[in-house]
Structures are given as structure tokens and as C-alpha cells.
Amino acid sequence: MFDEPFATGRSFIHRIDPRHRIVIAVVYSFVVALTDRFAPLTGALIVSLALAALARLRPAAVWRRLKVVFGFLALIWIVLPLTTGTPFLARIGPMGISTAGVLLAARISLKTTAILIEFTALVATMPLATLGHALGQIKMPEKLVYLVLMTYRYIHLLENEYQRTVRAIRLRGFLPGTNMHTYKTYAYLIGMLFVRSVARAERIEWAMRCRGFRGRFYHLVDFVPTPATWIFSAMMGIIIFWIAILEWGPHLW
Amino acid sequence: MTKPIIQLENISFAFPGRQPILNGLDLTLNWGDRAGLIAPNGSGKTTLFHLVMGLIKPTSGIIRIFGKRILAEKDFRVVRRRIGLLFQDSDDQLFSPTVLDDVAFGPLNLGKNKEEAIAIAEETLTSLNLTDIRNRITFKLSGGEKRLVALATVLAMKPDALLLDEPVTGLDRDTRHRIESILRELDISYIMISHNMDFLSQLTTRIFSLENGKITVDDTAALHPHFHLHSHGTHPHEHK
């Protein structure tokens, strides 16, 4: 379920301190999301692609991830040009293709692609365990961090349990259809998964208490930023600043 | 002189709305005891362990650990430092992202600092020959590795006694032998639930059973090894 195709590697990006990467990724995403002009947006897309190249991401694997989002973007390209209103770029029979709608769809597409590629390059290039530890060290709320880590740990087990049950149902000749029997079977399946998760959660809590757990978690890993990390962070700071200038600079002078 | 570690007196327990599963049970584990518990499924073996650890409360009866009567949660916290429970399903026990994180979790809870906890974890992993998997992700381990790491997480707390809930069920022969030799070399008292007669006879000095919610000891039926002869087939086979 969680294959982490980018998590391991020896690229320049992989060796940057995870905490720096997370902070940069978040700031960069916000700036890009708030940008509206095409010059900074195109710039951001190029920067994201450069980051992906620096992280030596396999283009095919990145494309597989992008495809999911491109499905949503296709929907936007269909809806926005037809619903945004005059002036029209062109007319197809009774319908008009709105200029503002096309521009908006283009902006959204550029932002989405740039942010997604950048997140893949900076954040998906660390194992989830590292992400959790790094989040803990940049003082994110402990409970949220452990929610992430525990989800990662146990969703896999839940999926196994789900697959096992589905297999057992199929082996007994179940064929889903549009009928009460199918709905009832699915309801049992989901209900059983909930019940098992609760039982599992209780046993995990017991096991933790048996090892002296008293509501406090500890992080073992110490990240030490290398000189390369500082150089990279400084560079990214300049780039983010440059994107911001391209967007908001003209308003300032 | 034998000093008791665990003393259960007249313990009863019932799950809500069900017949009592333990009914006036008495049990003592002394220092140096290596006891085996063999009984049918559903006879309350696991429940018994959970009662000792204070995870569930008995409907009646007295629990004494190291001679002291244990009543409240805060008493059980002390108990959990000194008695380690190995769960039947290692997936319940291993929740941290990496093996090292998980083994260090107990020592950290006992108030060790980061360096000390890592040192204890490393030392425990080394003693169990697990150093090469120290940075692996826990859920990606094999069943045998999971059980060994789970054992390491318990041993890292340096307990005086262990409660082992089916430590070798579902494991292959090699892993079983590894666990066997680990337990043999440890200087520790334990109660072990198992359905594997061979394993029990190798590793325990006493064997008891659970019947009608009470401990029974059958002195006439002692486990013993015996030799036998048969032609050596080509299929892998096992001797119990």
C-alpha cells in the first residue's frame, strides 16, 4: 500500500537535512499557491523540475503520480472555460469559451504541477519514518506526528485484514451486485474491519503500557544539517524570494 | 530459599455477560522458576497474563508481585518495569517506525536519556544477533524477525521475569531454535504459554494446565524425551 518509490536514494536532495526540506517545501508551496502571474508560475514549474532532476527522480514514476492529479485538472479544463463568462475566446455553437476561464485553468494547472513535483522531490524523498521524526523535531504537535506514524504503521495491517476478508468472501462464491445481499455483505465487511481495528488498537495500547508508556513519546534521531544543507536552504530562500518579487514586486514600486 | 515473584490468590475473572473464565485460581511463580502453561484454546491463559500485568482487573482475588499486594494502576506501573510480557501477535507490540526506535521505547519510558536508551537497544539487539536489521521498518519484517524484535523490546527493559504468550507459535524451525537458545541462556524466571510439547520440555522445569478456571498440576504426566526409529524418508519432517 505504501510503496515509497522515491524514499531511498543517494542524490544531492536525499542528503539534505529532512527538516530543512520540509520547511522549504511548505513555504515554497504557499508562495506558489498564492502566485497569480504567469512569469513566476512558469519559473516555479522550472524550479520544481530542476529539483526533481536534482533528486534523480525517475520520470516514469513521477508521471504515474501526476496522472492522478491530471484527471482532476482535466475536469477543471472542461468546466472553467465554459462557466466563467464573457469575454469569450471562441464560440462553439451556443457555448462560449471564456478567456478568463482558460487563464484560470492554466494557472491552476501550473500551480498544481509545480507544487506536486516539488513536494515529490523534497518530501517524498524521505522514508515516512524520517518524515515523522523530522516533523517532531520542528516542533509539530506530538500527537499529530504520532498519528501520522501510527497510521503508517497500521494501515498496512488493516489493508491485509481487508484483503484477507475479501478473499474469504470471494472464495465462498460472493459476486457483488445491486442487491440487499451485497449491501449487507459490505456492511459486515466494513463493520468487522472497524471492530478488529478497535480490538487491535486496544492491544497495541496494552503493549505500550506494558513497556512503561505514560503518554510521552521520544525521538531518537538527531539530524545534523551539513554545509550542503545550509547552501541549499539559502539557494531555495533566494528562489522563493525571487518568485515573490516576480509576483508582488510590480506592486511595490 | 524460594522467594515468590508472582502470587495469585483465589483470582476470578469473567468477561461481561459471560461465564467466569478464571474461577478461584491460585498460582505462584518463584525466583528461578521456568514454568510452562499448556491448556486448550479459550481456557484463559492469555487473560491470566493480562491480569498479572494489570491490563484487566480481576472480579475478585488478590495479586501479589514481589510479595507486595498490587491494587492500583500506579502499583502496576512498577510491575510492568520488572515483568515483561511478550504478546501473542508481535504486530501488537511493534508500533515504532524502525526496529531501533521500538527497542529503545521501553528504556526511554523508564527515564533513560536518548544516548543511554540507544546504547541499551544496541546492546540488546547485539545479544540477540539482530544488529543487521536495526534500521529496518518494523512492519516490513518477516514473521520470525518480528517475534525476535518483540522479544528484544521486552528484554531491553531488563525485566526480572517474563510472561511469554505462545513465543514460538507460527514460526519456522530456525527461528524457534533461536528463541529456544536465547531463553536457555537468559538468567530469568518465566511462565510460558505454548502448545509445543517439545519446546516446553526443553525450556521449563514445571508444567501446569488450566482447567475450569483453575490451575492444575499433573505430576504423573511429566514431559520426557524418548527415542524412536523409522526409515528416513525424503520429505522434510519434524519430531515432536
- Please state whether beta strands B206-211 and B83-86 pair in parallel, antiparallel, or not at all (unpaired): unpaired
CA distance B183 to B34: 10
Lowest mean pLDDT among A76-85, B121-130, B226-235: B226-235
The mean pLDDT value for A62-72 works out to 91
Q: Does residue A57 sit in helix, strand or coil?
A: coil
CA distance A142 to A150: 12
Residues 6+ apart with CB under 8 A from B105: A208, A211, A213, A218, B96, B153
Which chain B residues touch A154 with a CB distance below 8 Å? 95
CA distance A212 to B198: 33
**Which residue on chain A is closest to B50 by alpha carbon?**
A206
Backbone angle region of B32, left / alpha / beta, with phi > 0 → left and psi within -120 to 50 → alpha: left
pLDDT attached to residue A234: 95
A220/B117 Cβ within 8 A: yes
Q: What is the DSSP letter of B190?
A: E
- The alpha carbon of residue A33 is apart from the nearest alpha carbon of chain B, in Å, by 32
CA distance B149 to B13: 31
The mean pLDDT value for A96-117 works out to 92
CA distance A32 to A46: 12
pLDDT tens for each residue of B19-49: 899 998 999 999 988 999 988 888 889 999 9
CA distance A73 to A104: 11
The mean pLDDT value for B193-202 works out to 87
Q: What ipTM describes this predicted complex? A: 0.78
- The alpha carbon of residue B198 is apart from the nearest alpha carbon of chain A, in Å, by 28
B95/A211 Cβ within 8 A: no
CA distance A132 to A223: 12
Domain boundaries, chain A: 13-126+224-252, 139-210
Give B238's pLDDT tier (boundaries 50, 70, 90).
Answer: low
Lowest mean pLDDT among A43-57, B121-135, B182-196, B199-213: B199-213
pLDDT attached to residue A155: 84
B81/A157 Cβ within 8 A: no
Q: What domains lie within chain B, and their CATH numbers?
A: 4-216 (3.40.50.300)
B30 alpha-carbon distance from chain centroid: 15
Q: Evaluate whether B200 touches B30 at the Cβ level (below 8 Å).
A: no
pLDDT tens for each residue of B106-121: 998 888 888 999 999 9
Q: Evaluate whether B210 touches B44 at the Cβ level (below 8 Å).
A: yes
**Which residue on chain A is closest to B158 by alpha carbon?**
A211
pLDDT tens for each residue of B132-145: 999 888 888 999 99
- Intra-chain end-to-end CA distance of chain A, in Å: 51
The mean pLDDT value for A102-121 works out to 94
pLDDT tens for each residue of B142-172: 999 999 999 999 999 999 999 999 999 889 9
Helix (H) or strand (E) holding A91: strand A88-92
